[in-house]
């Protein structure tokens, strides 16, 4: 049996100042359990915004991979490439 799903979590509404969402692929393919956190690549503007938001001691840079996403919708485009590499036994990808 094959089951793979996208788990989206956030601390928004339960942690003061939380502004991000996180995505994780979790699945069981042919009896093998696997999971992987989704990551995105920061743009220059995104890196500057995170550095400013988090303050002293943080220095994000363009091209850096981070696990936080600004919206739930932003997670979806990163799902397909990670599914291909994390669950290569799945054959429904074109």
pLDDT of residue 56: 79
Tokens of 12: 């928004």
State how far the Cα of 72 lies from the Cα of 65, in Å rounded to an integer.
17
Ordered by start, the domain boundaries in the chain are 2-86
pLDDT in tens, the chain (94 residues): 678 899 999 988 888 878 889 999 999 888 888 899 999 999 999 999 889 888 778 899 999 999 999 899 999 888 888 888 888 877 665 5
Residue 30 contacts residue 2 (beta carbons within 8 Å): yes
Element (H, E) at 83: helix 76-86
pLDDT of residue 1: 65
pLDDT of residue 87: 84
Contacts of 60-63 with CB under 8 Å at 24 or more apart are none
């Amino acid at each position: 049996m094959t089951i793979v799903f996208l788990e989206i979590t956030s601390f928004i509404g339960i942690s003061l100042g939380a502004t991000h969402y996180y995505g994780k692929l979790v699945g069981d393919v042919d009896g093998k359990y696997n999971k992987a956190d989704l990551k995105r690549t920061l743009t220059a503007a995104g890196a500057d915004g995170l550095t400013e938001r988090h303050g002293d001691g943080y220095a994000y840079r363009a091209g850096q991979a981070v696990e936080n996403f600004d919206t739930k919708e932003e997670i979806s485009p990163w799902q397909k490439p990670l599914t291909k590499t994390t669950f290569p036994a799945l054959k429904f990808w074109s």
